[in-house]
Homo-oligomer: A and B are copies of this chain.
Amino acid sequence: MEYKDKNVPEVVIKRLPRYYRYLGECLDQGIMRISSGKLSEKMSVTASQIRQDFNYFGGFGQQGYGYNVEYLHNEIAQILGLKNGYKAIIIGAGHLGMALANHASFEKRGFAITALFDIDEKKVGTKINGKPVFHIKDIERFIKKNNISIAILSLPKSEVIELADKLAEYGIKGLLNFSSAEIKTAKHVAVENVHMSDSLMTLSYKIKLEEDKENL
């Protein structure tokens, strides 16, 4: 694949998982070829935007008769690093951590969730969805020994900030942050913040829009 980093805009990067998911659904349904028009309709993105997006990565050879779904799905997986076998741990085995450990789609996308970490002695030594819960004091050794790339942070805001720097030292390359803490880490460590209330606000906007229409 001819793929160079052309400073792909964040908004394009954010669309890649959606393309990937949708193409996966097509494959599940046995759809082997898709036009940019059809893809556009499904994704609520214009066909020209789709072509622009794909051009950042070489274009994927659409030739009038549409994209090869399996090829495109594979290429996007590659671009997203889903074939790199990144291993992850979950830090914080509270309700959210447990929900995440049970969340099938993480492993479906190629990420191995290898263990959870907590300070609660009642949880340490148990398993959640087959994954062991270890004490946080053992985290450095575990990360280094098992070559863990990703830490999923499902612990309180106050604990996240101090931890983030240590995780970078131990070799973690990316943090998926579910807390509202604003994390500043070493430059080579990637951070993705999950703001669950953003989705609720977007939903609220849509409800309000519909109500405004009804009141016209």
Contacts and interface: CB of A to CB of B under 8 A. Distances in A.
A162 B60 CA distance: 38
B103 A99 contact: no
A20 to B, nearest CB: 7
Interface string A77-121: 001111010101000001110111011011011010000000000
A16 interface: yes
B80 A201 contact: yes
B176 A200 contact: yes
A207 B149 contact: yes
A17 B207 contact: no
Contact of A81 (B10, B198, B208): B208
Interface string A184-216: 000010111011111111111111111111100
A157 to B, nearest CB: 9
Identical subunits present: 2
Given A207-B149, A207-B174, A105 B194 contact: no
Interface in A154-183: 154, 173-176, 180
Give the interface SS of chain A, mostly helix, strand, loop or mixed. helix
A205 B96 contact: no
A108 B95 CA distance: 20
A80 B199 CA distance: 11
Given A99-B99, A103-B197, A174-B203, A80 B208 contact: yes
Among A84, A176, A204, find the residue whose CB has the most chain B CB atoms closer than 10 A: A204
B192 A105 contact: no
Contacts of A14: 198, 202
A108 B197 CA distance: 9
A95 B82 CA distance: 27
Among A18, A174, A188, A194, find the residue whose CB has the most chain B CB atoms closer than 10 A: A174
Contacts of A192: 199-200, 202-203, 206
